[in-house]
Amino acid sequence: MAGSGAGARVPAKARRRAEALREQLHDHNYRYYVLDEPSIPDAEYDRLMQALRELEAEHRELVTPDSPTQRVGASPATSFAEVSHAVPMQSLDNAFSIDELREFDRRVRQRLESAGEEVGDAIEYTAEPKLDGAAVSVRYENGMLAWAATRGDGVTGEDVTHNVRTIKAVPLRLSGSDHPAVLEARAEVFMPRAEFERYNAAARERDDRTFVNPRNAAAGSLRQLDPQVTAQRPLDIFFFGLGEVDGWEVPDSQSRMLEQLRTWGLRTCPDHQRVKGPDGCLAYYEALQARRAELDYEIDGVVYKVDSRRWHEVLGSVSRAPRWAIAHKFPAQEEITVLKSVEFQVGRTGALTPVARLEPVFVGGVTVSNATLHNLDEIERLDVRVGDTVVVRRAGDVIPQVVQVVAERRPKGARRIKPPTHCPVCGSDVARPAGEAVARCVGGLYCSAQRKEALRHFASRRAMDIDGLGTRLIEQLVDGEFVKTPADLYDLDQQTLMSLERMGEKSAENLLAALDHSRETTLPRFLFALGIRSVGEATAKALAEHFGDLEPLMAADEEALEEVPDVGPIVAAHVRAFFAEPHNLEVVRALVGKGVRWPSIGSVQASVKSWWSGKRVVITGTLDGLTREEAKDKLERLGAKVTTSVSQKTDLLITGKDAGSKLDKAKELGIRVVEIHELPELNPQIESTS
């Protein structure tokens, strides 16, 4: 075939024709998927696509990464690579009632007014349908699709680029012009209801496996190792937010940001709307709920976001959820079934959680055979008994719950549920302190169940982040009596690890390296890792910042602890009780003795800290010896406010290697620029010796 040989010169006419076809197809994709205004019949679109395929087959040099023919161009993968989110993918707090919605609005108003903001009569929100699909982050560099990843745990997701490329509504390159150097757009992948029904009907005809619900269909399709399989699934996508951005002055409102994404070809949900105050939110909620059955996509509620993006920074986040957004869930889906038995599971604090074993029932799109009964008070309140017919609710949550007993169906001989007097795992006594709803095993770390859960928590990503120390390995270490406390982890050697199942030499070396790396941590992470009752990530950070180091915290009485923001009498009592227990002190001292260390927050000079207080800081480039998240943590501990984009309000740009367009913009605006090695408070070598 003329011109098809390697290195053969492509005729200019063929090159121009290929460029024209690509532009036409990109334009038609934008009109079809984003504007919902197709300008040609499907048959004509197919003819244009076929013409481009034939031209590229004849002249392979004409194939470009963003060509519409290249949506499926990868071989099946053997596993998914990990992707670290530069900006974490956060979850949302939930509201299930009108009162909870109004309380959210009250908290937002209170925080804004406390920060000196003029709120006015009603706060403006952008209200959006809460899609029931799979969250992804899609990254574009200079307008070209670079990669896509799942949410994962919010910090690290899985690389699903080849699968996301198969979704026709995802542009391989952005439309229009003036694209940012980096644009990470957050989105929800879903399978439209009509397509879901058609897919299942065809699967039944083939005697093939069907999907349970559209949400599982979307999540399962994204995790196919072979993109050819994903390409056969009718997936769609709506973009709703941002991750890392470089080279774009993000509009100061959620609604205008969505409009800009749309002009670049990123499909947004057409049903979002700007509303005022809780009354406007509620009116939108009720209208959308009335239309729920008519929508071609599954939703389980509404998301309200403060429209002003500047106020997003003022409001900030707590733990893994932003303070400027909330999900208002629709009433839960419910079904009835029979309670067959109740088992008690032991958690890391010794709490015994009653778990209902049910006759399997289909509710909320899945088959449910287990549900939580929460605690003993809940069992008493419901007066639930083994043999009862019960109402099971699945409110979009992972764990279904028993919410009601159908009393008129109670059979003769239904048995009352009695809490165990001894731990079902270790046989230790079970105690239920007066006034508490939770019964606890008093065995502590003698109880293998508590040990396993405590070690799982200690090694988790948001705690000590010990990569490779998973559930199965922890079970072997505890069952084999190799590890009794977290401190024992740092005594493990290669020979011991290699004696365990599925642990080869390389795996053992990697785990030992991960353990060694985990010795360098931060005080908030260390406190969170200890598993103190009622001390989550936010409380651990507040305690660390207030006391500055571990010793003053361990010596603090309850009165001193209650001076910490957001620490009340109950949390203070739990913290004091933890450090008053000799065994706990022994473990903490042992961990420090094994080399676990952190920079002392209290070692930062007051003059340095006061300079950083309130400063708006942006970080760009690659930082030597420091991750972006670690740098952000250090700056926030100094009192700075770390943002992702450079604007006239930015006080300082900190640069590492290969700083990009943010540096150019900072120079253009006359913003002070400092290289990271010039800042001793961010230098890990200097800080580690303080």
- pLDDT tens by residue, 328-372: 988 767 788 999 999 999 988 888 999 999 999 988 778 899 999
Q: Report pLDDT for 511.
A: 95
Q: Report pLDDT for 604.
A: 41
* Distance from C-alpha of 252 to C-alpha of 90, rounded to nearest angstrom: 20
Give the pair of three-digit tokens for residue 63: 């194939």
The answer to whether 333-416 and 444-518 have equal CATH topology is: no
CATH classification (class only), 444-518 = mainly alpha
Domain topology for 333-416? OB fold (Dihydrolipoamide Acetyltransferase, E2P) (2.40.50)
Q: Report pLDDT for 76.
A: 57
Q: Report pLDDT for 73.
A: 54
Averaged pLDDT, 597-620: 69
Q: Report pLDDT for 266.
A: 95
**Spatial contact of 393 and 336, defined as CB atoms under 8 Å apart:** no
Question: What percent of the chain is modeled with pLDDT above 70?
Answer: 92
Q: Report pLDDT for 320.
A: 76
| Between 130 and 630, the higher pLDDT residue | 130
Q: Report pLDDT for 235.
A: 94
Question: What percent of the chain is modeled with pLDDT above 90?
Answer: 46
**Spatial contact of 329 and 95, defined as CB atoms under 8 Å apart:** yes
* Distance from C-alpha of 31 to C-alpha of 39, rounded to nearest angstrom: 7
Which of the following is catalytic: 13, 130, 649, 662? 130
DSSP letters along 51-95, please? HHHHHHHH-GGG--TT-GGGSS--PPPSSPPEEE-SS------EE
Of the candidates 150, 226, 154, 158, the one whose C-alpha atom is nearest the C-alpha of residue 189 is 150
Q: Report pLDDT for 686.
A: 32
Q: Report pLDDT for 75.
A: 54
The DSSP symbol for 268 reads B
Please check the confidence at residue 640 and state whether its pLDDT lies above 60: yes
Averaged pLDDT, 177-183: 92
Model pTM above 0.75: no
Please check the confidence at residue 128 and state whether its pLDDT lies above 90: yes
Q: Report pLDDT for 213.
A: 77
Model confidence band, residue 684 (pLDDT cutoffs 50, 70, 90): very low
Please check the confidence at residue 564 and state whether its pLDDT lies above 70: yes
Q: Report pLDDT for 6.
A: 43
Averaged pLDDT, 215-234: 86
Q: Report pLDDT for 690.
A: 28
The owner of tokens 């029931």 is 132
Q: What is the CATH number of domain 604-688?
A: 3.40.50.10190
Please name the CATH architecture into which domain 523-601 falls. Orthogonal Bundle (1.10)
Q: Report pLDDT for 4.
A: 46
Q: Report pLDDT for 497.
A: 95
Model confidence band, residue 687 (pLDDT cutoffs 50, 70, 90): very low
Q: At what angle do helices 214-222 and 193-205 cross, to 10 degrees?
A: 80
Model confidence band, residue 42 (pLDDT cutoffs 50, 70, 90): low
Q: Environment class of residue 569 by beta-carbon count within 10 Å: exposed (0-12), middle (13-18) or buried (19+)?
A: exposed
- Sequence letter at residue 563: E
Least confident of 53-62, 234-243, 421-430, 516-525: 53-62
Least confident of 320-324, 388-392, 675-679: 675-679
How is the chain split into domains, by residue range?
12-70, 124-329, 333-416, 444-518, 523-601, 604-688
How many other C-beta atoms lie within 10 A of the C-beta of residue 42? 9
* Distance from C-alpha of 276 to C-alpha of 255, rounded to nearest angstrom: 13
Please check the confidence at residue 191 and state whether its pLDDT lies above 90: yes
**Spatial contact of 370 and 357, defined as CB atoms under 8 Å apart:** yes
| Between 136 and 395, the higher pLDDT residue | 136
Please check the confidence at residue 275 and state whether its pLDDT lies above 50: yes
Q: Report pLDDT for 480.
A: 93
Is 452 catalytic? The answer is no
Pick the CATH number of 124-329 from 3.30.470.30, 3.90.550.10, 3.20.20.370, 3.30.70.930: 3.30.470.30
Averaged pLDDT, 559-567: 88
**Spatial contact of 391 and 402, defined as CB atoms under 8 Å apart:** yes
- 15-29, 58-72, 259-273 — most confident range: 259-273
Q: Report pLDDT for 3.
A: 44
Pick the CATH number of 12-70 from 1.10.287.610, 1.10.10.10, 2.40.10.340, 3.30.479.10: 1.10.287.610
How many other C-beta atoms lie within 10 A of the C-beta of residue 519? 14
Q: Residue 435: which region, alpha, beta or left (left: phi > 0; alpha: psi -120 to 50)?
A: left
Least confident of 141-155, 561-575, 624-638: 624-638
Q: Report pLDDT for 49.
A: 78
Please check the confidence at residue 5 and state whether its pLDDT lies above 50: no
Length of the chain counted residue by residue? 690
**Spatial contact of 382 and 410, defined as CB atoms under 8 Å apart:** no
| Between 490 and 9, the higher pLDDT residue | 490
